[in-house]
Chain A
């Protein structure tokens, strides 16, 4: 599992989407992360004293796995970039056509 910076992660993710266009799928997982790097101690003391919550994002396609951590100050920048990436990549689904009222009345 490769841990990347936010921008690198987005670049690699767009490559994953392109590679998976002909076959296969891309899976993305998001989870809240409190910054812990050590296992929970047996005496019950909390793992992180003043948790600064971040968001852990992982993506995988076939056998390639990447991940990144989003800090609070990078949230807006990442969400807008990520949104754009999804909108441009996720475009092979069916488009429902709403029957227009005039057309219905004419029939």
Chain B
């Protein structure tokens, strides 16, 4: 359950993790409005990476990353 403090590092590691095993990797997002926390987690059942933020500016970056992942998952690329 490692927390990565830097978004760029998290994004790179998450992409590598997903591409190694696309069928068994899943990605989770949790938003708590009352606590003002946005949490992102990616795991392939062997390794897990997390990123936590309380900053509005990060939402756009996370959003782009999610869209890219959805696009890749629903396509036949490897």
Binding site for B on A (CB under 8 A): 17, 20-34, 51-55, 57, 70-72, 75-76, 78-79, 82-83, 86-87, 89-96
Contacts and interface: CB of A to CB of B under 8 A. Distances in A.
B19 to A, nearest CB: 11
A33 to B, nearest CB: 8
A72 B70 CA distance: 10
A29 B66 CA distance: 10
Contacts of A20: 31-33
Given A30-B70, A91-B56, A92-B36, 14 more contacts: A21-B34, A29-B28, A30-B73, A31-B26, A33-B73, A55-B70, A55-B74, A72-B75, A79-B67, A83-B66, A86-B63, A86-B66, A92-B33, A94-B36
Given A79-B70, A96-B55, A27 B28 contact: yes
Contact of B27 (A22, A31, A53, A87): A31
B20 interface: no
Q: How large is the interface on B (under 10, 10 to 19, 20 to 34, 35 or more residues)?
A: 20 to 34
B75 A53 contact: yes
A92 B22 CA distance: 32
Contacts of B71: 75-76, 79
Interface of B: 22-23, 25-38, 53-60, 63, 66-67, 69-71, 73-76
Contacts of B53: 93
Nearest to B78: A53
Contacts of A94: 36, 54-56
Contact of B57 (A17, A75, A83, A96): A96
A22 B34 contact: yes
25 contacts: A22-B33, A24-B32, A26-B31, A27-B30, A28-B30, A29-B29, A30-B69, A32-B22, A32-B73, A53-B76, A55-B70, A55-B74, A72-B74, A75-B71, A76-B71, A78-B70, A79-B67, A82-B70, A83-B67, A87-B59, A87-B63, A91-B56, A92-B36, A93-B37, A96-B56
